Every structure is written in structure tokens, then in C-alpha cells.
Structure 1
């Protein structure tokens, strides 16, 4: 039995619809955003890009699609549906809930985000996966016809961590996995245990990995002064976002997957988000994929090589 919608509405720009959908197993309510393309539906159904942290990214994704989808010969972008999963809030994030939903199991417990708050827990990724693959997919059958063989998943930061965990544990669920600035080293790089056990299926998902230029070991120019420099550098040495993503690209490529990696110039962990969302659209809906540079070939371009050498 699918979850039941407890509320719904429509944004005034872009034709985005949203549904507050109750998890049929846990009762938790999450907000599901849906944007159907303004074009005739393909016979096989719509290809779709699913985006985590839906509140923060759905507007950007829709605007980018609306601006590019109508001109495929100039953008190489075909029409596709957008499905974003977030929470019943007007804020960009619900940090407490996403910590649980996007954290791969087994997870850990952490102090509250603020005094008097609840203990923060991670490790609920399996609950989110079931919600996506069962509740949301079944619910959407009454609202849009999707092509089950052409679905993509995007996540940024914790969402990128979740996307990679989905690759390792539900490899047949999505044709494309797009992980921007993935938190691979989170919780002592526990994700690597899932990578070690991963056996690529015959039709393996294509994977796009990325990070911002200032997610390496150097600080962004505007961060190079003040009292936080030492703490920021220490954190960078621990998170290793660029290096970890490149190492993941190599590991997945060695397992026979089509993998690409990009470093986005002059972007930080958060400023990279709209750039990464736009690239996710291309990775999901590109008409001609022949020009995509795959790892390790793409590692030989000057910008990637220089970044890699600097980080290691």
C-alpha cells in the first residue's frame, strides 16, 4: 500500500506541484515536488531526474529546464520530468530530518543542533530508499507516466553520499547517479564498506561525480583571513572532498562503470549547488552523450590534472 497524501499545492512559477506524502511504513511526512515537462509524453513514459534536498533545488532545476529544454539543438537537453524529495517547510533544508534520511546505515548519534534540541541521528537511508522506490513511485503513477528504464538520481553533499549508497545497494533503481560534493569520508568513510561489497550489475548505472574548486585543500580567497582559517584547513584535510570523489571515480571505473568527474571552477561546497544541478540535468537528459569525457580520460585535461595533483 502506498503512502497517502495529506496535503498538496502548486507553486506559482514553473508549474511545480507538491504533495506531502506520508511514509506507509513509518508515518513520517515528506514533501514530494513534481514538474512534468510542457511537451507530448513519450510512448515509454518520461525520463526523470530525482533530486534529494528537494526544497533547496527544485526551483533551480525547473528554471534551468524551462530555459533550455525548448532548444535541444542549442543545449543538447531533452525534456524530462523532475521529482524532488524534501520536507513540509519553506526553508531550504530540514537539517535534523535529512541527517537521518540521507545517512547510510548503520549511522551514529550526535549532540543536538541547538540547546534543548533532540539528539541527531544518522543511518535512516534504508527508510528513505524504501520511501522513494515504493511509496513515491506508486503514488506518482496517478500523476505522471515515467519510463522505468530511464530514471536518474541526484544528490549534493549528504545527498551525494546517499546517492552513492543507493548505487551500491539498489544498483538497478536508477540509470544515472549524480553525486555532487559527496560526503564520502563521513563517519570514518563507512561508505567504502559498501563499495567494497559492490558487484556491478550487467547494466550498470552511469555515474557523475563532482566537487567545487575550493573543496580541495585550499581555502577560497574570501576565506583566507580571520580566526577560522586553521579550523577550516583542518576540516578540509579530514573531508578531502575532491580527492575522495576522484578516488571513487577511479574505483567505479575499475569496476566497469561509465564514470565522469568534474571540478567546478571557483565554487565552494554550497555555491556549487546550482552548477551541479544544471550538470545533473545534462547527465540525465542529454540527447547526445558521445562528447562526455569519462574517467580516467577526463583526468588528463589540464584543469582536472592540476586539481588532482594539488590535492594529493
Structure 2
């Protein structure tokens, strides 16, 4: 009977015999580190909650105005895909390779910190959840705008006006919240399968207020471009329906400067939409076809 490779490796070491590379690799597999990537933790000033920040940095020199930046919510889950695409595009000398990718996550090896992301990305829903389990979107918005973005600008050479935001599901809900409440904070916003259903569609109140402000000329500055994405097989049909209905409501606002695009990914479910969205997101954020 053949012995397992780890046993052979141990015996070889005991006898002073060189161990073949394949046996060494099988005995002690090594962790993989994504090249061109930096990671640091940042604690929110008001409550000390720690966020893990992942950054994919182009190897090329930054342009005179600095790198454009894409902020990716749920960074533990989605940053690797966005970072991998950026590296491929840089290798191929395409536009997306020259973008700084910043993933915003939590100090965990899991794809999601379910409780913290729900708190950070949602408005309050008092009938369903007790305090502290939801409703922290304004807390998170302040961390993002007042602390993280300045920290990224301190560490890297970035173009201040060229920053975009990607969010999926609850992250898409938060991305729309940012559009409605801070319509000039980002150059582009990408909301993938946004959970507009949350809080009995309470986000519609913010949407209506935003529409009135924009149509009445009360939004000073260039409003964010919006890309709405959904999957043909999104887990709840209402997610797709809500996105399609939102597109129809927002299209008349193009007369007041709002640029909106929509795509439905054939065959994709709720959980597969984000990785299908990577290339369209980079192109939309950069304003390239």
C-alpha cells in the first residue's frame, strides 16, 4: 500500500534524504497572497468598530491628477474579483488597470460579517429588528466619507473627484441611499440587485425627496451617474421588478442631469450577480464603452 505523502516526507527528513518538491508542497501548502494588494484595519472614530480595508494598487505610475478610485462594499466577498480584473486589465493595458480598487470589509476570513453589514448598510426597520441590529447606514456613511476616503487620499495618489461606489443587495440599498442623500459625493454609483424591499420600501421616501431636489435645481454640482444591475433569476422576483420600476421613475430625471443605465444579467441569481457585474462596473465607473 502506498503511504500518504506527508508520511513519506517525515521519513525522508528523519533519514536526511532530500524530499521531492511535490511531497513538500503536499505536506505544507502555503497561503496565497494576491499581488499588488495592501490590507490595513481602520477603526471608526465614534465607536471604535474596526473595518478591514483591502486596496488593489496599480503598478503603473499614477496620472498627474491621481488614480480614479472604486470603493467596493462587502469587500471580504467581492474585492478579490475586482482586484483580479484590475490586474488583468493592467496587464492588457486597458483602462480598468489604472484604477485603485478599495474593498471595505470586516476583520474576518468569512465572505460576510452578516450582523455588521446589515447594521451598516440598512436604514432602521423598527417593526422587525431591535436597535443595534439595523439602521446604521448614516453611521457608515460618515465613516466612509469623513474617515476612509481621506485616509485613502493620504496613503495613495488619487483623483479627488474621480471616485465611484459599488454595492450589492444591502450594499445596493446603501448605494442608492448615498445617491439620494449625497448626490454629488461620487462620480458614479453602481447598485447591483438593491434590496429596495427593506423596511417596506422605506427608501422610496428618500427617492422622492431626491427627485424633487434635482428637478427644482437644488442639487449643486454634478450628480452621480447611476448603473442599476440585476439578475434574470434574482432570488426574489421583487428585486428585479423594483430595479426595473426604479429605472422607469428615474429616466425623466435625465432632463435634470441624472444619467442612468440598466442591465439584467441572463441566467444569474442574486448571489452570482456581483461577479458578473465586475467588468461592466469598471467600465461604467471610468466612463468608457
> Equivalents in 2 of 1:36, 1:85: separation in Å?
15
Q: How many Å separate the matches in 1 of 2:143 and 2:263?
A: 30
The answer to whether structure 1 residue 98 and structure 2 residue 117 are counterparts is yes
RMSD: 2.1
Contact 2:87/2:97 (CA < 8 Å) preserved in 1? no
Check the 8 A contact 1:96/1:120 in 2, yes or no: no
CA distance in 2 between partners of 1:119 and 1:24 (Å): 20
More helix by share: 2
Name structure 2 gaps, 5 residues minimum.
1-31
1:203 and 2:217 are equivalent in the alignment: no
Residue by residue over 1:228-263, the C-alpha shift from the partner in whole angstroms, topping out at 9 and shown as x without a partner, is: xxxx7xxx35xx111111111122221121111001
1:88 paired residue among 107, 129, 144: 107
The SS at the match of 1:92 is coil
Question: Whole-Å Cα distance in 2 between the matches of residues 284 and 68 of structure 1?
Answer: 14
- Distance in 1 between residues matched to 2:270 and 2:44, nearest whole Å: 31
Higher Rg of the two aligned structures: 2
1:120-199 mapped onto 2 (5 Å cutoff):
121-198=133-210, 199=213
Give the CA deviation at 1:285.
2.5
Checking the alignment, whether the CA contact within 8 Å between 1:181 and 1:269 is kept in structure 2 is yes
Equivalent of 1:45, from 66, 73, 78?
Answer: 66
Hey, what's the Cα distance between the residues in 1 that align with 2:200 and 2:185?
A: 27
1:243 paired residue among 241, 265, 277: 241
Q: Which whole-Å CA distance do the structure 1 matches of 2:47 and 2:249 have between them?
A: 35
SS at match of 1:148: strand
Structure 2 match to 1:13:
34
1:23 aligns to 2:41 (yes or no) = no
Count, aligned residues: 249
Instruction: Tell me the distance in 1 between the aligned counterparts of 2:156 and 2:202.
Output: 37
With structure 1 as the length reference, what TM-score do the two structures score?
A: 0.75
Match of 2:9 in 1: none
Identify the range of structure 1 (250-259 vs 164-173) with the bigger mean alpha-carbon deviation: 250-259
